[in-house]
Structure 1
Amino acid sequence: MGKRLISTGELARELGVARGTILVWISNGVITPEYTTPGGHHRWVLEDVRRQLRDARQRDE
């Protein structure tokens, strides 16, 4: 079974942050989407993003 892709809005809701926060994290290289559509919309795997955020936190410590 494949990984479930979610939108940026869904990701923000799952993480309890604003959509704008997600966009800042992308531009700062904190997180990377699983896929970007030809129209420029990002798709995410929730657990992968949580791992990326944990890794970023550990680097900052």
Structure 2
Amino acid sequence: MTTPRLVTTGELARALGLHPRTLQRYRSLGVLVPELESPGGHARWDVEKVKQQLRELRRKPE
């Protein structure tokens, strides 16, 4: 099994076409959870998992 490449918040934002602040806000609200968080508080993300999380959020009824 291949280990997913983890990316920074900035790289994730570019991959998704979002502003990094949007991702930071989603993270602070608990909407998105990073794959890894460094001891210094820096998030590392699996792009495919985040895409799946966002797809699931769109499916939830309001």
Query: TM-score by structure 2 length?
Result: 0.90
Aligned residues: 61
Please tell me the residue identity of whatever aligns with 1:12.
Answer: A
Unaligned regions of 5+ residues in structure 1, if any? none
Percentage of pairs with the same residue? 48
**CA-CA distance at 1:60 after TM superposition:** 3.7
Q: Describe how 1:7-46 pairs up with structure 2 within 5 A.
A: 7-46=8-47
> Structure 1 runs of 4+ off > 6 angstroms?
none
Once the two structures are superposed, what CA deviation does each residue of 1:8-45 show, in whole Å capped at 9, x if it has no partner? 00000001111000011112222110000011100000
SS of match in other structure, 2:60: helix
Please tell me the residue identity of whatever aligns with 1:21.
Answer: T
Query: TM-score by structure 1 length?
Result: 0.91
